[in-house]
Amino acid sequence: MLILTLGFVLRVIGPHLEILKEAVELIPSIDIDVVFLIVLPILILESSLTANWYTIKKEFWQILCLSTTLTMLNAVLMGFSLKYILGYSFSWDKLIILGLLLTFPDHLATNSILKEIFASERLEALIFGETLFNQAIVLVIFEVILNIINDSPAVPESISFVFRLILGGIFIGTIFSICMSIIVKRILNDLHIETTFILSVAYLLFFTCFSTSIKVSGPVGILVYGLYISAYGKTIISSDIQEEMIIFINVLSKDIEGILYIASGITMANYSVYENSELESFDYACVIIVFLISYVIRAIGIIVHVPLLKNFGYGVGFKDIVTCIFANIRGIFNCILAFIILNDSHFNEEKFKVLTIYLVIGTSWISLLLSPFFFKYIIKFLRLEEINDVQENMLAGVTKAIVEEFENKIGQLQSDKDFKLIHWDNVLKLAGPSQLVKSILKKSKKGKKMLHKSKTHEAKELLRNFTSQFTLTRGNLKVEMRRRYFNTLKGLYLHAFETGMCNGESSLILMNSCNLSLDKDTYKMHDWSIVKNIIFKPSLFRFYSRLSTIKCIGGIFRRLLYKKVIQAYDVAHNFIKYHKETEELIDKMEIDIDKTVFEEIIKEAEEEIDKAQEFLRAYVIDTYPEILSEVQTKRSSKALLYYQRKTVEKIYKHGLINEIEYETLINTVESAIRIITFKGLPSMPILREIMINRFPGADSSEMNFLLSKIIEKKYQPDTNVFEEGEEFKGAFFIIRGRVNEKSSWIDQELIIGNIVGVQYLLPGLSNTYLSTAKTYTYAILAVIPKEIIEYQSFVSDLYKEAAEEYILLNRRIFDLVDANEKYIIRIAGASTVAKLDRGKSISFREGGFVFKGLPYSKLKGHIIKPSGKIREIEEESIVMMFPKDFSLCLYKGISVSEALKSFYIKTNSRVNAPKDCQNEEISSIGDSRIDDSQIITGGFENSIRRPTFYKQRIIVPTN
């Protein structure tokens, strides 16, 4: 309003100042087409960039009603008022176009007022959305009416023209948005290039829409372009520069808006003071009447639309309707359209042009002067800024925590010898907690009454008296606590993206889950269900997985599958991490609320965290460890590089390095970040590669034989692979997932690279399974047939894999009938299984177990006693060589079982788990016995419960 007034004053005093005379007289005749093409794109883009896409999408149909049918209805009603109330005799098309300019609220002016009030987020979003869409829709209506005035088309042609403008603008805007995003994604942390490119594309889009060969709505195209960036900008624009870019575009928009207001003031003064031959005294008075009529018309229009507004989006109440009526602030867009009419040659009636300039700019000036006061008064009168009892109680709780922290700080300062001369009474009067508490209480109706009656000035006492006035239900407290929790969580998700710890698309999914949860704040927390439904679609994963095995197109679908898995990991990991941080943050605040309510909300959050952890383990960690490794590597690298960049910026600000050194260092770090950001996905190994790495000793003919016999199978979670007592049908190599193998003699979980039932491939076992295997997660298993044992290249690897199981099944032959399972697991994990070829000379210094063959003729049984004697291998054998220093445990007169126990005790203090087997809760394992008859042939009883062991063998790729 002040800038508009400044323009008016400049036109009045300009002729008397030589330096301004020519400028102020030139502005009214400036080429409006140039202004239109330069000004509109940046104004609409800036407005749409700050939109909250979630609420816009949620209230879309309400916003569409207000910006289309309401706008047209208001224009028609104002046209009737101009003709039948004010007596203007212009043609109907001119009256309606003038009515349009006098009634639609301006986004920039309205939004500046919205920033100063604290009404509900949903109401503000509704008003924001209406005025935002108005910028494009009003220009479409304006262009359609101009087309009717100029060409007089038939009704079908006019309708077709409307659809062409809107749908064409949406289509062109979408195409440009997608193309822009593809290119900008390849630019990293370059404020100048990214900002320039985004603005250049916006102007190119606007000019393209207005080209004679396309002729669609440029404002609609820019609106779509801006909303696209608002919705997906986090996945497009570098996180480090987004805020700076928005600030730059905002400043540019505000500067242009200010210049236009000055030009509007000059033009109004020109035609109302100097070139006013077309205006009569009645016209001067009409500006006030039109301003008042516009509110009446808007009220009628909104009341007509109430049924639609109530049934779409979040709905509206009486207070919302009244507020929307008074959200009727005109501004710069009204003035721009008035400029267009002034300079359009098709409007040949000078009276109409001058009156349009005067009424539109005049009502905009009055609106900017008075409407903000009306609007703020209505907000205050309807108590839309007041918080409810629960929120006031929560605010008091937060304030109490701040007061307690403040008092602790005061105590520390008072005990500091450097502050002995301070007058603490004066400090407390000026900056004490009482001032904070009083200012907060003054904003509450109950707080004001209490302050008026209260005699105490102590902060804690004031807060205690204040909170005692509330009678709150646990249900209301839980709702408010959930809202605080999700708002905090949403802030942490955004921070994670800005610091490079969360992918842009992942952060959008996570923040969207918070928005959806806030919409259903009366329900128990269920944000993980929302997230999971987005990131994990089993049918899609199965489809990609199935097609990834096809030779010609498999690579494409493997990449798609990997991208989905990486996103699932990133989302689930950050979900867990920032839920925990939110809990810690709220707990540290020590908000004075009902402890039971707080614990219930935290319990709800913990349940969601547990679900996410279960998902992460079942569908990512166990199934795609190579992807997990890649993501963690990239995340750690980026975190370190961001830290390096921050350190370089810090030491530069402190003057420890000069500008050249700073540029060199920062460019090096940015280059490394760019390399990591655009690093490709890890390759997905095919079955041949997996098997070659798993059995490195096999030649090509043996590997071809194995691959010809292997059958790849997929299993859902909790599906039996085989059951105890079933006929043997092969062992199962784990390509993806986790499998539990269980019986009375074993209970272990096997992961990628392990072979489930490997022991049944070895000679000497029956043709039935002696255990049950069940998938713990989704699993892909390769069925390995028994014929594999006929090839010597595989034998050594199979015995290595089956060492623990082979010993457990053959306790008697190894003299381990009374040995504890944990001792057997420890020695098997620490030992080495070796294939000894005939003729080889070797010393069994630590001893060992013979799994196959007879190394030398003097050996009796399957136990090799420690000996330094060099022996020549007489028969090809498979031997498990005991670890270093085992000979100190296995000496003359000591049984193998006792030696294993001694070794276990000796190594327990320095070894947390066996090399190949990780033992959970090992201290809780009790002694157990397996009868001598329970060897090799089966028939085990299920009376003994065994602990669960996790094999974690690492398959080392061949060079």
Q: What is the CATH number of the domain that holds 782?
A: 2.60.120.10
Q: Rounded CA gap, 159 and 163, in Å?
A: 6
CATH at 169: 1.20.1530
Say if residue 749 is in the same domain as residue 822: no
| In-domain check, residue 670 | no
Say if residue 154 is in the same domain as residue 205: yes
| C-beta atoms surrounding 588 within 10 Å | 9
pLDDT given for residue 952 in this prediction: 45
Radius of gyration of the chain (CA): 39
Say if residue 339 is in the same domain as residue 483: no
Which of 464, 497, 513 terminates a domain? The answer is 464
pLDDT given for residue 169 in this prediction: 92
Say if residue 447 is in the same domain as residue 585: no
Query: 502 is in which domain, residue-wise?
Result: 474-623
> For residues 919 and 11, which has the higher predicted lDDT (pLDDT)?
11
pLDDT given for residue 793 in this prediction: 79
Give the pair of three-digit tokens for residue 633.
């590597």
Evaluate if residue 417 carries a pLDDT over 80. no
Strand-pair category, 877-881 with 832-836: antiparallel
pLDDT given for residue 11 in this prediction: 66
| In-domain check, residue 794 | no
Q: 232 - beta bridge partners?
A: none
CATH at 899: 2.60.120
Its sign, for the CA torsion 789, 790, 793, 795, is: positive
Q: 949 - beta bridge partners?
A: 748, 919
Evaluate if residue 917 carries a pLDDT over 60. no
Evaluate if residue 360 carries a pLDDT over 60. yes
pLDDT given for residue 682 in this prediction: 61
Say if residue 253 is in the same domain as residue 155: yes
| C-beta atoms surrounding 718 within 10 Å | 10
Q: Where are the alpha helices (DSSP H) in 654-694?
A: 659-677, 687-694
Q: How far is CA 479 from the centre of its chain?
A: 23
- Three-state DSSP at 173 gives helix
**897, 823 Cβ separation under 8 angstroms:** yes
> For residues 870 and 152, which has the higher predicted lDDT (pLDDT)?
870
pTM: 0.70
DSSP 918-950: EESSGGGPPP----TT-SSS----S-SPPPPEE
Say if residue 126 is in the same domain as residue 239: yes
Percent of the chain topping pLDDT 90: 19
Say if residue 255 is in the same domain as residue 142: yes
Say if residue 124 is in the same domain as residue 213: yes
Q: What is the pLDDT of the chain when averaged over all its residues?
A: 81
pLDDT given for residue 723 in this prediction: 93
Strand-pair category, 720-722 with 772-775: antiparallel
> For residues 690 and 571, which has the higher predicted lDDT (pLDDT)?
571
Say if residue 280 is in the same domain as residue 247: yes
Percent of the chain topping pLDDT 70: 86
Contacts of 18 (CB under 8 A, 6+ apart): none
> At 923, is the pLDDT very low, low, confident or very high (cuts 50, 70, 90)?
very low
pLDDT given for residue 235 in this prediction: 77
| In-domain check, residue 901 | yes
| In-domain check, residue 798 | no
pLDDT given for residue 915 in this prediction: 35
Q: Rounded CA gap, 828 and 883, in Å?
A: 9
Q: Rounded CA gap, 824 and 914, in Å?
A: 10
Query: Residue range 659-680: average pLDDT?
Result: 80
**86, 310 Cβ separation under 8 angstroms:** no
Which of 382, 410, 435 terminates a domain? The answer is 382
Say if residue 599 is in the same domain as residue 725: no
**50, 107 Cβ separation under 8 angstroms:** no
| In-domain check, residue 806 | no
* Kind plus residue range of the DSSP H or E element containing 834: strand 832-836
| In-domain check, residue 83 | yes
pLDDT given for residue 909 in this prediction: 54
> At 385, is the pLDDT very low, low, confident or very high (cuts 50, 70, 90)?
low
Query: Residue range 102-115: average pLDDT?
Result: 85
pLDDT in tens, 597-649: 888 889 999 999 999 998 888 778 777 776 777 777 777 787 788 888 888 88
Evaluate if residue 956 carries a pLDDT over 60. no
pLDDT in tens, 285-300: 888 999 999 999 999 9
Q: Rounded CA gap, 133 and 143, in Å?
A: 15
Say if residue 444 is in the same domain as residue 499: no
pLDDT in tens, 12-35: 666 666 666 666 666 666 667 777
Number of domains in the chain: 5
Q: 727: which DSSP letter?
A: B
Dihedrals phi, psi of 790, to nearest 5 degrees: -75, -15
Among the ranges given (91-100, 266-275, 656-665, 682-691), the one the predictor scored with the smallest mean pLDDT = 682-691
